[in-house]
Amino acid sequence: MDLVQRLQNRFGNRWVKVKFYREMPSDSESNSFQGERFCEAVSESYLRPLMIRSENVLCAAAQYVFGWNGDIRFRIIKTVHKGLGFPMERAEAIVNGLPRLRPGYGAIGLNQNGGPDVLISYCQPEQVMEIVKAYQQKTGEAPVARLSAVASICANTTVAAFLGKGLHLSFGCPNARRYGKIGRDRLAVGISRELAKVLSE
pLDDT (0 to 100) of residue 82: 92
Q: Whose CA is closest to 43, among 179, 154, 184, 186?
A: 179
Task: Note the pLDDT of residue 30.
Answer: 63
**Alpha helix locations (H) across 57-124?**
60-65, 73-84, 88-96
Is-contact 115 13, C-beta < 8 A? no
Residue 16 confidence (pLDDT):
96
Condensed to tens digits (0 to 9), the pLDDT of residues 110-130 reads 999 889 999 999 999 999 999
Q: How many residues does the chain have?
A: 201
Q: How, if at all, do strands 187-192 and 16-21 pair? A: unpaired
The rounded distance, in Å, linking the Cα atoms of 115 and 196 is 12
User: 3-state DSSP: the chain helix, strand, coil percent, rounded to 5?
Assistant: 45, 15, 40
Look at the chain and report how many structural domains it folds into.
1
Question: Rounded distance, CA 45 to CA 177, Å?
Answer: 17
pLDDT at 173: 87
**132 lies in which domain range?**
3-199
Q: What is the reported pLDDT for 169?
A: 93
Note the pTM of the prediction, 2 decimals. Answer: 0.92
SS3 of 118-137: EEEEEECHHHHHHHHHHHHH
- Split the chain (201 residues) into runs of 10 and give each run's mean pLDDT: 91 95 74 82 90 87 92 93 93 95 93 94 96 96 87 94 94 87 92 96 86
Determine the pLDDT at residue 27.
Answer: 64
- The H or E element containing residue 109 is strand 107-110
Dihedral sign (CA 118, 124, 125, 129): negative
pLDDT (tens digit per residue) in 65-89: 999 988 899 999 999 999 889 999 9
